[in-house]
Chain A
């Protein structure tokens, strides 16, 4: 069993959702994660709020937020256990983030034996 990270990419990080809409997404996300956890395939996850973010560049310039020049903004991630990248991609298909047109979920294998794991 390998571990894969599912990275949620939002096309437009400047969009602000209503609290009601946020609540619906939260619930859908919890149901989605619950379904993965019920298969004993959930490792961990986190939301990454758009507020209070900085981008630090190689010349030491610090800008506000992950927006602007970058086309996509990362809104969160979860780490799952899966037998193959295809199984991990199957999990990703249920991610509520994909209801937003232009949004995507990137599936990447987590490296092992690199001193972190």
Chain B
């Protein structure tokens, strides 16, 4: 790897490690200092390596520089705090004795604890996702803005407010108590699930970036699986769901970054290794007596890896959606449930149920109605597709619906 490739690669893998360890060391109040030190470290790497060449062990080089920068910060800051506020935080040990621990174990622990701190119930979901992308995944502001289809200013503001909130709520970077783990884990899993979805469903043209978001969400999930205390059935179920979804990553996007619908996907492009992994984690998740929404969604995703259009398949998917909707309602689950109903029990029954949903501001609702009426009452089908077209926002959606209308023609 040459320098041009190496530094961005190291930035992706090491920035977040350095930031997590330093934030844990300094406390959440000083998360910006940790970020600054990590950024400065990489800046120095750019400058130095360009002239002196890449050091023998680049990671160790980065850690040493980060440690020294942290020590310098402490010594400068100590003079300041001693003189001004009288609060002597680091006085019990000399600067030389301050040890910043960048061992593998402390890196993993710090990242896991940061994950719990960021996914604190007091922090808004939007802020949790922003902070996770920045601090835990090391994405740049540009990249976050690109994937979330917004601008840098919005992301910067969002991150600023999120950090303020972390300070205000005095959130500690620590592992939650055993009695709290299940509750706290629920928020963490929701954030990881959304993080994955941001990548998977993003409308951004940058396919590589979208893929990276998904991979990062999976990496953070595997971080939870590596720790005995958090290696719980729901975590494995989420991982299984992510594997099943990712297996279709290459099949669901064409060369222009546009979505290809499930029915039109080339099965040969499905990643069978990931499908196998999904099955493995779902099996591992099948312990205990609590069924999470991730169990149900992973099972639904499993059935989607079976391409054959059998009644058994759709009857299973229908029952899974029946249960999923009881745990947590969402319009998309309601629509998918009705689609499964039509495949399992026929279009007439499904139309009757679909009419009751009344999701009249949702273009997918009218797309579903159009799909159900097609072949039964083509005029009604066209009317519904046209309604869908008028509600659709993205170019891709509009084009897909227009193609569908043309097909009925």
Interface positions of A (Cβ within 8 A of B): 27, 30-31, 33-35, 37-40, 42, 45
Most buried by B among A27, A39, A42: A39
Most buried by A among B322, B329, B338, B356: B322
B301-354 residues with Cβ-Cβ distance < 8 A to A are 318-319, 321-323, 325-326, 329, 333-334, 337-338, 341, 353
A46 to B325, CA, bound (A): 15
Closest residue of chain B to A29 (Cβ to Cβ) is: B322
Q: Residue A31 contacts which of B322, B326, B334, B358 (CB distance < 8 angstroms)?
A: B322
**Residue B357 at the A interface, CB < 8 A?**
yes
A–B complex contacts, Cβ < 8 Å, 15 sampled:
A27-B319, A33-B322, A34-B321, A35-B353, A37-B325, A37-B334, A38-B321, A38-B329, A38-B353, A38-B356, A38-B357, A40-B329, A40-B334, A42-B329, A45-B326
Measured between C-beta atoms, what is the minimum distance from A87 to chain B in Å? Answer: 11
A33 to B322, CA, bound (A): 7
Query: Besides A30-B323, A39-B334, A40-B334, 9 other CB < 8 A contacts?
Result: A30-B322, A31-B341, A33-B326, A34-B322, A34-B325, A38-B325, A38-B329, A38-B338, A38-B353
A28 to B328, CA, bound (A): 20
The residues of A that contact B338 with a CB separation of less than 8 Å are 38
Q: Is the CB of A37 within 8 A of B357?
A: no
Measured between C-beta atoms, what is the minimum distance from B12 to chain A in Å? Answer: 41
Interface residues of A: mostly helix, strand, loop or mixed?
Answer: helix
The residues of B that contact A42 with a CB separation of less than 8 Å are 325-326, 329
Q: Is the CB of B319 within 8 A of A30?
A: yes
B interface, how many residues as a size bin?
10 to 19
Closest residue of chain A to B330 (Cβ to Cβ) is: A40
Q: Is the CB of A34 within 8 A of B356?
A: no
Measured between C-beta atoms, what is the minimum distance from A51 to chain B in Å? Answer: 20
A27 to B323, CA, bound (A): 11
A98 to B73, CA, bound (A): 75
Measured between C-beta atoms, what is the minimum distance from B338 to chain A in Å? Answer: 6
A27 to B341, CA, bound (A): 13
Which 4 residue pairs across A and B have the least CB separation, nearest first? A34-B322, A37-B325, A38-B334, A40-B329
Q: Is the CB of B337 within 8 A of A34?
A: yes
The residues of A that contact B357 with a CB separation of less than 8 Å are 38-39
The residues of B that contact A35 with a CB separation of less than 8 Å are 353, 356
Q: Is the CB of A39 within 8 A of B356?
A: yes
The residues of A that contact B358 with a CB separation of less than 8 Å are 39
A40 to B335, CA, bound (A): 12
Q: Is the CB of B329 within 8 A of A31?
A: no
Closest residue of chain A to B334 (Cβ to Cβ) is: A38
A37 to B328, CA, bound (A): 9
The residues of A that contact B322 with a CB separation of less than 8 Å are 30-31, 33-34, 37
B16-45 residues with Cβ-Cβ distance < 8 A to A are none
B145-195 residues with Cβ-Cβ distance < 8 A to A are none
The residues of B that contact A27 with a CB separation of less than 8 Å are 319
